[in-house]
Amino acid sequence: MSREQRGPNEKLGAVLALAGISNAGLARRVNDLGAQRGLTLRYDKTSVARWVSKGMVPQGAAPHLIAAAIGQKLGRPVPLHEIGLADADPAPEVGLAFPRDVGQAVKSATELYRLDLAGRRAGSGGIWQSLAGSFAVSAYATPASRWLITPADSSVAREAGPSDGSGAPLKVGHSDVRKLREAAEDARRWDSKYGGGDWRSSMVPECLRVEAAPLLLGSYSDDVGRSLFGAAAELTRLAGWMAFDTGQQEAAQRYYIQALRLARAAADVPLGGYVLASMSLQATYRGFGDEGVDLAQAALERNRGLATARTLSFFRLVEARAHARAGDAQAAGAALKSAESWLERSRPGDSDPTWLGFYSYDRFAADAAECYRDLKAPRQVRRFTEQALSKPTEEFVRSHGLRLVVSAVAELESGNLDAACEQGVRAVEVAGRISSARTTEYVRDLLHRLEPYGDEPRVVELRERARPLLMTTA
Indicate the length of the chain as a whole number: 474
Question: CB–CB of 404/389 below 8 Å?
Answer: yes
Name the strand (E) or helix (H) holding 457: helix 457-472
Q: How many other CB atoms are there within 10 angstroms of residue 343's CB atom? A: 20
Whether residues 185 and 251 share a domain: the answer is yes
Does any domain span residue 298?
Answer: no
User: Could you give the number of structural domains in the chain?
Assistant: 2
Whether residues 178 and 208 share a domain: the answer is yes
pLDDT at 123: 35
How far apart (Å, rounded) are the C-alpha atoms in residues 388 and 366?
A: 5
Whether residues 206 and 77 share a domain: the answer is no
Q: Report whether pLDDT(397) > 60.
A: yes
Q: Spell out the residues 6+ positions from residue 451 whose beta carbon is closer than 8 angstroms to its own.
A: none
Sign of the C-alpha dihedral computed for residues 226, 230, 231 and 235 taken in this order = positive
Put simply, whether the predicted model's pTM sits higher than 0.75 gets the answer yes
pLDDT at 346: 93
* Mean of all residue pLDDT scores within the chain: 86
pLDDT tens-digit series, residues 430-461:
888 877 888 888 899 999 999 999 889 999 99
Query: In whole angstroms, how far apart are CA 93 and each of 112, 139, 142, 420?
Result: 10, 11, 15, 44
Whether residues 110 and 207 share a domain: the answer is yes
pLDDT at 118: 41
Whether residues 22 and 157 share a domain: the answer is no
Give the pLDDT mean for 58-79.
80
Does any domain span residue 467?
Answer: no
Q: Report whether pLDDT(120) > 80.
A: no
Structure letter (DSSP) for residue 413:
H
How far apart (Å, rounded) are the C-alpha atoms in residues 408 and 425?
A: 9
Whether residues 113 and 40 share a domain: the answer is no
Whether residues 45 and 151 share a domain: the answer is no
Q: Report whether pLDDT(472) > 70.
A: no
Interhelix angle 417-431/437-449, rounded to 10 degrees, is 160
Does any domain span residue 176?
Answer: yes
Does any domain span residue 393?
Answer: no
Does any domain span residue 376?
Answer: no
Question: CB–CB of 429/400 below 8 Å?
Answer: no
Does any domain span residue 108?
Answer: yes
Interhelix angle 378-388/361-374, rounded to 10 degrees, is 160
> Which of the listed residues 244, 267, 290 is the one where a domain comes to its end?
267
pLDDT at 2: 54
Whether residues 133 and 207 share a domain: the answer is yes
How far apart (Å, rounded) are the C-alpha atoms in residues 415 and 295?
A: 36
Q: Which of 67, 119, 113 is nearest to 88 (CA)?
A: 67
Rounded to the nearest 5 degrees, what angle is found at the Cα of 268, between the Cα atoms of 267 and 273?
A: 125
Does any domain span residue 335?
Answer: no
pLDDT at 267: 96
pLDDT tens-digit series, residues 187-238:
888 777 767 665 555 688 889 989 999 999 999 999 999 999 999 999 999 9
> Which of the listed residues 239, 267, 295 is the one where a domain comes to its end?
267
Rounded to the nearest 5 degrees, what angle is found at the Cα of 213, between the Cα atoms of 207 and 215?
A: 105
pLDDT at 165: 57
**Residue 257 one-letter amino acid:** I
Whether residues 152 and 252 share a domain: the answer is yes
Q: Report whether pLDDT(126) > 70.
A: no
Whether residues 149 and 52 share a domain: the answer is no
Question: CB–CB of 130/90 below 8 Å?
Answer: no
Structural domain containing residue 16: 2-83
DSSP for 324-364 reads HHTT-HHHHHHHHHHHHHHHHH--TTS---GGGTT-SHHHH
Give the pLDDT mean for 422-429.
91
Whether residues 148 and 60 share a domain: the answer is no
**Residue 216 one-letter amino acid:** L
Q: How confident is the model at residue 474 (pLDDT cuts 50, 70, 90)?
A: very low
Whether residues 68 and 104 share a domain: the answer is no
pLDDT tens-digit series, residues 255-286:
999 999 999 999 999 999 999 999 999 999 98
pLDDT tens-digit series, residues 319-363:
999 999 999 999 999 999 999 999 999 998 899 999 999 899 999
Does any domain span residue 301?
Answer: no
How far apart (Å, rounded) are the C-alpha atoms in residues 31 and 44?
A: 9
> Which of the listed residues 31, 58, 83 is the one where a domain comes to its end?
83
Q: Which of 436, 66, 55 is nearest to 247 (CA)?
A: 436
pLDDT tens-digit series, residues 10-57:
999 999 999 999 999 999 998 887 776 556 788 999 999 999 998 888
pLDDT at 195: 72
pLDDT tens-digit series, residues 154-173:
999 998 655 555 566 689 99
